[in-house]
Every structure is written in structure tokens, then in C-alpha cells.
A and B are shown apart, each in its own frame.
Chain A
């Protein structure tokens, strides 16, 4: 989640957008069992999105059972004490709802999008599986195979995913960000229903959950429904936190990945601060602005210089995500043009950051980036789903959704000098990891496809 997805809206509204109607502030409650409820009213359509976020993701796993957070997410659709496997989805579908779930490094979340009159019914279903999940061996056996197919589809057969996986496994030695959310294949092969059960018992408690509801509802309605459906679930002690802090990196790290592909690629990942303390982590704001100046729109610096003007890359990007529970990375990456080595592209990507370190950024560049940030906050309000995603992921990262006004003013106050200062401070060799893709030709290319015609 990037700051550029945050609300710069509120403060700038009056000045930039005379017609602007401010987003409803979100309301927050806490049930007696510790479950947090956040509601934002949006009455543009008679629909609602209901999400339940658990603060448990792949970073809470341990070696040997990597991927278990995500496996449990799959198993949450497989029945409770009163619901047969698959019945959860059938019931949501019968109500006209759409549903799914997602697992991240920092969290696992479940959602339904539905006619707002049906909110109570999906809440009842969600509460049931928070407390009454049945983990059956018979259901686990095919589902773990589904997860292995998912890993094949999304990682094993995708060069870009393999590169990213190796990058993280190299950049982090101790912190669990070193393993992929979906887990290592051998851990999946060894995983049992008991592992999933254990995970469920440890983390799926109301005091580890945050409900986010955005749509055609009132806070009072949602509060009453939440109390009715989740209020009876008892709080449980949560596992002791094990920070598994990443030790300081003391020198450049490189990893080479060979995989079937046509074009080479390179990713440079610099360890930089995350946003933890919204008052004092000034550098996180400046890094986010730097990210936007490098890659915030189609004529931003990286694309303008390396792809459009100098034509030494086919594509480039920058990415900084400061809203994370674990350590943050600032990445720049690209695919070199024919005849340009990944080493050369590496130098040119770093040269663009050095240019900012040496010469700074212009006031008009900074203004353009801020205009984009402001508008994105208005556009975001077209989607209740997007709004719920933002609230949930902020909360999981440990930043209160209500701090958004403050974050906005901090971002708006970033100066060219601050951007230049972070460009100077964080982009040396010592906390840098570089992952390079060495493309391997497809062996099948030499053989014409075998075609069998059947009548």
C-alpha cells in the first residue's frame, strides 16, 4: 500500500476542488471481546462491502510450515460445526453476494460485496467461521493440492515471480519476509490439517480481528449487527510477538535467477524506513514522494529518461511501500532494451536517483506529483471496495485509519530538500540487494507443435 493511495483529499479539498464533497469520516467501535469495527457510510448505491481482517499473515509463520496462513484461508470455506463444505459460498451466492479472501505478508482478510439489506446474513456466516471452523482431513487433502496448483500457476511457471521470490529470500536473512506468502513447495507438500488447525487456534480470535464495512449502512446498524453476531465470541490470549528483527545488512547482495523467459530483468531493493510513527518518521513521507517523482505518472523521471528518451529500457518502475508491519524496501526495476546489459541498466537506474541526490527536484515536479496524489484520493471514492481495502491495510500496518488527515498534511509538507536528502541517504551499496533474471530459451521452440486432429 502506497501513500499515494492515501487521502490527500481533505486538506486540499477547499483549495483545489470547489465542487468537492468530503468523504464521510469513518466511525470506530470496539466490542467487549476486543474486536474492532470500522464503518464508513457511502450511500451512492444500495450495496455494501463487509471485510474481516485478521492480523496474521505469512510474517507470523515459522520455517517448515511456510504458507500455512494462506492454506488456512482456503480452508475457511470448507465447513463449520453447522455448515457443510462449500455451503458458505453457496449461501453467499444465494444472497446475490460476491466473496473471496486474500492473504498477505501482514494479514489475512475475508470479504463479501452484497446488497446492503443482506449485511446481517453475511456477518452471521463470517462470525460462525471465526469460531466454529471444522478442519477435516478429507477436505484438506484436495485443498492442499489446489494450493500447490496455485503455486505452480503463480510462481513456479512465472519468471517474474521466481525473481521476486529470490530477491526477498536474499534481502532478508532473519525476518520472515524472506519467504513467499504462498510458502515453499516442500512445506506445502508436508503440511497437514493439524498445522492449519494450530494456526486457526492461535490467531482467529475476535481480539485479533478488525471488521471494515463501507457502503449503504449507518454506523449504529453495523454496531448492533456486529454485537449480535460477534459479541458472543470470547477473546483469547494471542501468541507472544516474536519480532525476528532483520540484522543490519553490511554490504551489497546479489542473486541470479535462470528461468524460461525472453528478456532479462533486474530489480534493485534498498532497505529504507517504514512509516511507524506518523509524527516523527519524516523520511517515510519523503521516500513516498521520491517514488512518485521517479514513477508516479507516464512522464515521470524513470520512464521519461530511460524508456522514452534514451531508449535503453523497454520498461522501468519504482516502488516504495512504507505501510508494512515488517521492514520496508524501496525498489527500482526494469527490462533493458536489446543490446543493453542488466549491469548497464542497474547503473542507469541508480544514476536517476543520484541525479536527484545531486541536483534535487523542481518545484513544478513536486507540485505535479502532489496534484496526482490529491486527485487519486477523489477518484478512489468511486469504489467502496477500494475504500475498505485502504482502511483495513492501514490498520493492519499499525497506523490508525483516523490518522489519515495527519498523514495528508505531512505528505503535503514534503519539501524538495527532504526529497533530495532521502535520495542521498538511503541508496548506497550497503543495504542494497540486486536480483537479476537470466532468461533461458524454451527447449520446445525448436520443435514444431505436434497437432493431432480428431473428428
Chain B
């Protein structure tokens, strides 16, 4: 106990200064900018994100958010000053700037990340191309057809895989009719038209709701210019907020067993749990480290893998989102022993929910989380992903500066109370794909 107190004092003394100085401002068009100067290598990492994730897919058109994002790179229309570029020209032009571009869509967010050499001719060209692709996508009909065909083929492939079947069934079990449960089908993809893409883009990829994050070898002044350039040609948006999405509905506890010829059963347990920014976040983080988040040293890892050899991978996680994101426990095990593995897993969870972690476990969790904090922000890419998270979810700007202090403050009572509020063992959904017959 004495050792712990001493450690906390040292840590809080060291951490009164900012872990990461983030500068932020809002452009006249409403876009929010977050910027971290991080020199050392001649690289700029940036992202621009929108509330344009798959939860915004219209009914019976699941897959629209992802197709819209993917097809931004399928060519840009001509503008008053610049000629149109087709898909190949756009690809070649990007390749010639040496920049790496990543399109990305999750349930909440969609956007583009760009990694460019900071030297000006190269990064200017890459940023200009990114701005055009965001604002003037051509969405050629023929390419939409081609991508729909490829997406459906990949979807059918994925739907033969036990992990994919399990994860889709799990999201349906815990979210019911909420958009978080939706995923594309051949029919929903088939129903998507070019007009849908144009409308989705015009509604969601708007300047007033853009979050631009810029990290790396770049001055404040140039970051300002980059943000303006990236958002300058976007539709301004009509100033109205996007329609509210339905509440996450309460779902009855259910156990679903789905037949599959694979040699292993894929098991998922969980429930909707926490929004991003939830005051319980730090207690859940420390508690979950003990339960199933702490790599090789968690209770689940010990009981399921180390002691009994039942699974290669087993763990638990909280994924906070705009609306209550899932708490998930996942594992895979030889089909014949699925029931045994499930029982061990449930016993670990039940006992954790009942008694909470021990003082030793809490100390071990804090030692790792606090001692390893520097590994969360030790390169551009990690810094960018943290800053983009802060920007998109509206977390406090000192979120990273106070992170270790907030972890240090968590008590055993906090953890028990937080898990009590978020998880009820008898309310969890269970999905077993490849269950023993």
C-alpha cells in the first residue's frame, strides 16, 4: 500500500504538464480542427472525419455509408479551374505524391486519413487531391456497379466464416432494430443507386460537421491552411443537426446456437454498455484489464487458456461509441468442449461481477495502464488516432493529460459500482456458432 501511494505521488508530480499539447480552433465554415506539432520525421499525418458511419445507413440500404466512402476515390468531377480525373488518373496522381491514403468507415465515423511527406510540393499536391476527392466525387455509375459486385462477392465469402456469422448474430442479439445491428446484405447493396451516394455525400460530408486532425512536421500556420483547403470545397451543410437515431432498446437475454461445420465454436457474450465520454470509463478500463483486457495476465486468460488450454484467444472489451457501445467477451474453442469453455467463462464473469477485483489486481492493472501510458502516444499514428477520437466524440482537450490521474483515482468500489451499472450477468446475450450438436 505504501509503495502504491509513493508511486501515485511521483506519477501525479510528473504528469501535471500536458502529455500532448493539442491546439484546436473552429473554421468559419464550422469545421473543427485539432492540431499537434510533432517534429522529428518529415511526415504529416492527418484525418478528416464525419458523422457518416454505417449507423447513418438508410433502412434497407445497409452498406451505403461504406460504398459512398469507398467510391470517393473512384474519380473526381471537373471544377471551374481543374479538369476531371478518372479513377486511374487519381490513383496515379496520388502515387506520384508518395502519400498514403486510407478510407475508413465504422459504425459512427467515416472519413479519410492521409500520410504525406511534409516537404511542400509533395504534401501540397496530396492535400489538394484529397480536398477534391472529398468535395467533388464523380461516383461513376459503372464503377458503382463494379464495386457492388465485388462487395457482394466479399460479403458472401465473409458469411461462410464462423467469426463473421457470430459477430453479426451478436450485434443483432444486443441491438435488435437499432442501426448498430445492421449490416449489408446482397439485397441491401443491390438496392443502392448512384443517387443514394450523391444524397448521402451531400448530407453527411459537410464542412460544418467535419473534424480535421493534423499531427506531425507542420507549423500552426500551415495546419490552418491545410484545414481550410481540406474543407473549403465541401458542401457547407444546411446548419441543421442530423436526425436523432433511436435509443438503444433493452433486449431480452438470449442464447443463440448456430450450426457450422468448422472445427471450433466461436463464442461471443455481451450487451450494450457505454457511450464514449461515460464517467464510468476509467473504472471500466481498470476493471476490464483485470477481467479480460490485460493481455496475458487477465482472469479470463488465466482460467480459460493458461489453466485449461481451452482457447488460443480469449478476452473482454468495452467499445464506447456515440450511443451505448458493446461490452464483449469472445473466445474460440474446439467444438466438443464449447459448453465447458462457456461455463468457465461465465463463472469468471459472475464471480468478477459479484466480488470485484482484489486490491492486488487493481494495483497490477494500474501499474500497467499508468506505466504503459507513454506507449499510447509514442508515434504520429497513435497520436493522430487519439486526437481524432477526442475531436469526433467531443472529449475534453485534457483527456490525455489527465488520463493517468483518472486511472490512478479508480477504487475497488468504483469498479464494482461501474460494472453494476453497466453489466448484468443475467442480461447478456450469448452467441455460439459451430455449437456442439
Are B256 and A452 closer than 8 Å at their CB atoms? yes
Q: Can you report 15 A-B residue pairs in the complex whose CB atoms are below 8 A from each other?
A: A45-B378, A89-B296, A118-B371, A142-B309, A143-B309, A152-B334, A153-B312, A157-B262, A311-B146, A314-B150, A379-B43, A382-B41, A383-B381, A452-B256, A454-B255
Are A368 and B309 closer than 8 Å at their CB atoms? no
**Chain A residues near B38 (CB-CB < 8 A):** 44
Q: Considering the complex, give the chain B residue whose CB is closest to the CB of A443.
A: B261
A102 interface hit (Cβ, 8 Å): no
Are B98 and A374 closer than 8 Å at their CB atoms? yes
Cα distance A204–B311 in the bound complex, in angstroms: 27
Per-residue interface assignment for chain B, residues 359 to 395, with 1 indicating a CB less than 8 Å from any chain A CB and 0 otherwise:
0000010011111111101111100000000000000
* A72-98 with Cβ < 8 A to chain B: 77, 85-86, 89-90, 93-98
Cβ-neighbour of B309 out of A44, A90, A113, A149 (below 8 A): A149
Knowing A152-B263, A308-B87, say if A262 contacts B159 (CB, 8 Å): yes
B137 interface hit (Cβ, 8 Å): no
B92 interface hit (Cβ, 8 Å): yes
Are A452 and B263 closer than 8 Å at their CB atoms? no
A251 interface hit (Cβ, 8 Å): no
Are A450 and B257 closer than 8 Å at their CB atoms? yes
**Chain A residues near B149 (CB-CB < 8 A):** 311, 314, 337-338
Q: Considering the complex, give the chain B residue whose CB is closest to the CB of A185.
A: B263
Per-residue interface assignment for chain A, residues 337 to 350, with 1 indicating a CB less than 8 Å from any chain B CB and 0 otherwise:
11000000000000
Are B296 and A77 closer than 8 Å at their CB atoms? yes
A145 interface hit (Cβ, 8 Å): yes
Cα distance A142–B303 in the bound complex, in angstroms: 11
Cα distance A209–B302 in the bound complex, in angstroms: 30
* A45-104 with Cβ < 8 A to chain B: 45-47, 77, 85-86, 89-90, 93-99
Knowing A96-B370, A157-B264, say if A150 contacts B312 (CB, 8 Å): yes
**Chain B residues near A368 (CB-CB < 8 A):** 92, 95-96
Chain A facing B: main interface SS: mixed
Task: List chain A positions with a Cβ less than 8 A from chain B.
Answer: 16-21, 44-47, 77, 85-86, 89-90, 93-99, 113-115, 118, 141-150, 152-153, 156-158, 260-263, 297-299, 304, 307-308, 311, 314-315, 335, 337-338, 368, 371-372, 374-375, 378-379, 381-384, 442-444, 447, 449-455
**Chain B residues near A338 (CB-CB < 8 A):** 149, 153
Classify chain B: how many residues form its interface, as a range: 35 or more
Q: Considering the complex, give the chain B residue whose CB is closest to the CB of A309.
A: B88
Question: Closest Cβ of chain A: how far from B401's Cβ, in Å?
Answer: 16
Cα distance A222–B103 in the bound complex, in angstroms: 40
Cα distance A86–B252 in the bound complex, in angstroms: 39
**Chain B residues near A450 (CB-CB < 8 A):** 257-259
**Chain A residues near B100 (CB-CB < 8 A):** 375, 379
Cβ-neighbour of A299 out of B43, B91, B306 (below 8 A): B91
Are A115 and B217 closer than 8 Å at their CB atoms? no
Are B297 and A90 closer than 8 Å at their CB atoms? yes
**Chain B residues near A371 (CB-CB < 8 A):** 95-96, 98
Closest 6 CB pairs of A and B: A96-B371, A145-B309, A142-B309, A299-B91, A375-B98, A45-B378
Cα distance A264–B177 in the bound complex, in angstroms: 34
Are A86 and B310 closer than 8 Å at their CB atoms? no
B162 interface hit (Cβ, 8 Å): yes
**Chain B residues near A383 (CB-CB < 8 A):** 379, 381
**Chain B residues near A335 (CB-CB < 8 A):** 153
Are B91 and A298 closer than 8 Å at their CB atoms? yes
9 further A-B contacts with Cβ under 8 Å, apart from A98-B295, A372-B98, are A19-B119, A44-B378, A96-B367, A114-B372, A144-B309, A149-B264, A149-B310, A308-B87, A374-B98
> A-B contact count, CB below 8 Å?
224
**Chain B residues near A118 (CB-CB < 8 A):** 371
**Chain A residues near B297 (CB-CB < 8 A):** 86, 89-90, 93
Cα distance A205–B336 in the bound complex, in angstroms: 40
Cα distance A384–B379 in the bound complex, in angstroms: 8
* B293-309 with Cβ < 8 A to chain A: 294-297, 302, 305-309
Cα distance A235–B239 in the bound complex, in angstroms: 72
Per-residue interface assignment for chain B, residues 143 to 172, with 1 indicating a CB less than 8 Å from any chain A CB and 0 otherwise:
000100110011011011110000001000
**Chain B residues near A158 (CB-CB < 8 A):** 161
**Chain B residues near A146 (CB-CB < 8 A):** 305, 309, 311-312
**Chain B residues near A89 (CB-CB < 8 A):** 295-297
Knowing A142-B306, A157-B263, A263-B156, say if A47 contacts B42 (CB, 8 Å): no
Are B255 and A453 closer than 8 Å at their CB atoms? yes
Are A454 and B119 closer than 8 Å at their CB atoms? no
Are A156 and B153 closer than 8 Å at their CB atoms? no
Cα distance A1–B266 in the bound complex, in angstroms: 32
Q: Considering the complex, give the chain B residue whose CB is closest to the CB of A368.
A: B95
Question: Closest Cβ of chain B: how far from A161's Cβ, in Å?
Answer: 12
B358 interface hit (Cβ, 8 Å): no
**Chain A residues near B45 (CB-CB < 8 A):** 382
Q: Considering the complex, give the chain B residue whose CB is closest to the CB of A89.
A: B296
Scoring B91, B99, B160, B305 by chain A CB atoms within 10 A of each residue's CB, the highest score goes to B160
